[in-house]
Amino acid sequence: MPLSDGVDEAGYLRCLFNEPLKLIRCKTVALEVAAQAEIVVEGHVSLTRCAPGGPMGEFHGYISDRIREKLVYEISAITQRNNPLLPVTSAGKPVDEDHTITGDSASAMVLET
């Protein structure tokens, strides 16, 4: 979430929804996640292992043709609900669905500063 440094995400959501947010501990990492999460992917970013990554697309619709060495994310557990929902947006050339969705939150962030 685009919150200021030091703002507790769970506390923010408690205020936003006007009800407590139930948290549960992850299975393999020292973090808590929302109990009603659809999918939780646990793991660590390796500080020593790299692998080729890319080419990657930017949200503006531009795609780099470069492949770069990136740190590897080592998955330690995946937990999910039965029949989980995974909402995704496939970014395309501007103006596309993801550009119109992100406009409201980007405007709110600009007004906040």
Q: What is the pLDDT of residues 24-45, one digit of tens each?
A: 999 999 999 999 999 999 999 9
Q: Which residues are catalytic?
A: 58
pLDDT at 92 over 70: no
Pairing relationship of beta strands 68-80 and 39-53 according to DSSP bridges: antiparallel
Instruction: Give the pLDDT mean for 64-89.
Output: 89
According to DSSP, residue 3 is labeled: P
What pLDDT does residue 1 have?
A: 66
The token pair at 102 is 């992100």
Q: Measured between alpha carbons, how far is 105 from 113 in angstroms, rounded to an integer?
A: 13
Handedness of CA 30, 35, 37, 39 (dihedral sign): positive
* Per-domain boundaries in the chain: 9-112
User: Residue 60 in contact with residue 94, Cβ under 8 Å?
Assistant: yes
Average pLDDT of the chain is 83
